[in-house]
Amino acid sequence: MPRESTAKRKTPALRGLGQLTLVEHSLCPLDPRASLRPHLTHRCRYRYVDPTEGPSTAQVVVSSPRGLAARDEFYLWGLLGITFAQQDPSADLYVTPHYCLRQLGIIEGESKGGESYRLFREALRRLAAVHYENDRFYDPVSREHREVGFGFLSYSLPANPDSNRAWRIVWDPLFFEICRASGSGLGFDLVSYRELDPASRRLLLILQKVFWRRRESPRFDLRHLGTNVLGYSESLDARTLRMKLKRSARTLADAVSRSANTTVV
C-alpha cells in the first residue's frame, strides 16, 4: 500500500475558500506600512469580459478605519473554509479560537497559543471593519454584474482573553449569500497557501482561478498584475516590479514542486 511521506503536515485537511471575484484583485496594499494604518482606502481595478458588453473594467474601493493586512486574507479564506465545511453552513458561526486555530494549522494539540490568539483577534477586528465596494461585481445569484457594497463579518468575543467561551462570528448576509452560491467559491489547499508569503498567496489564487477554467494562462500585463492583483505599490518602476513578480512566481513554483514530492511516495 502507498504510504505517506515522512514530511508530516501540521494542519488538518481543511480547504480554504476564496470568493471568485475577490481573488481577481488585491484587498489592500502588500506593504503593511501602507495598509496597516487608520482610515485605509484602497482603490484598484480588474478586467473581465462581459458576454454582452465585451472587455470591461471593474472599479473597487476597500475601506477600513482599522486598516487591513494582506496576511488577514488567510483568516478570511480559512474562516470561510471552516464555515462551509459544516454539515449545514450558517452565517452565524459559534467556534472557540482554539478550534479555529487548530483547523487553520496555527496551533497543535492542547497548545494555548496566547500570541496566536491575540493575532487572530486583531485580524478579526480589522476584517469586521472592512467595507467593500465594486461597481461591476459578478453576482452569482442573479448571474449578472452589479454594483455592490458589503462588509465581511461581525463578531462577538469574550472581553476576557482567557475565557473558554465560544466566539461568535456572523457573516454579512449579502457576502454569505454570494459565497454560498454555486460556482462562487474557489477551494484551495490551505496548507500550501499558508506556507507562502502574501504576494505568492495572491498569485496562487488568481492562477488557480485561471487554470480552473482554461488550460493555458492569458498574457498578464506586468503593471496590472503587480499593482491591481498582487498589491505592490504603483510607485515601483517596471524593472523592480518585474523582479518582484519573478520572485513570487519562483516561490510559488518551488512550493508546488515540494508539494508534488512530499504527498505520496
- In this predicted structure, what is the pLDDT of residue 220? 85
pLDDT at 79 over 70: yes
Is residue 227 in a domain? no
Is residue 250 in a domain? no
**What average pLDDT does the segment 233-257 reach?**
93
Is residue 179 in a domain? yes
- In this predicted structure, what is the pLDDT of residue 258? 74
Domain that holds residue 99: 15-194
**What average pLDDT does the segment 48-71 reach?**
92
- In this predicted structure, what is the pLDDT of residue 249? 93
What is the separation, in whole angstroms, between the first and last Cα of the chain? 10
Is residue 228 in a domain? no
Is residue 247 in a domain? no
If DSSP states are collapsed to H, E and C, what string results for 204-255? HHHHHHHHHHCCCCCCCCHHHHHHHHCCCCCCCCHHHHHHHHHHHHHHHHHH
Q: How confident is the model at residue 60 (pLDDT cuts 50, 70, 90)?
A: very high
Out of 99-113, 174-188, 212-226, give the one with best mean pLDDT: 174-188
Measured distance CA(59)–CA(133) in Å, rounded: 8
Is residue 10 in a domain? no
Model-level pTM? 0.89
Is residue 91 in a domain? yes
Domain count along the chain: 1
pLDDT tens, residue by residue, 134-166 = 999 999 999 999 999 999 999 999 999 888 899
- In this predicted structure, what is the pLDDT of residue 262? 39
- In this predicted structure, what is the pLDDT of residue 78? 97
Is residue 237 in a domain? no
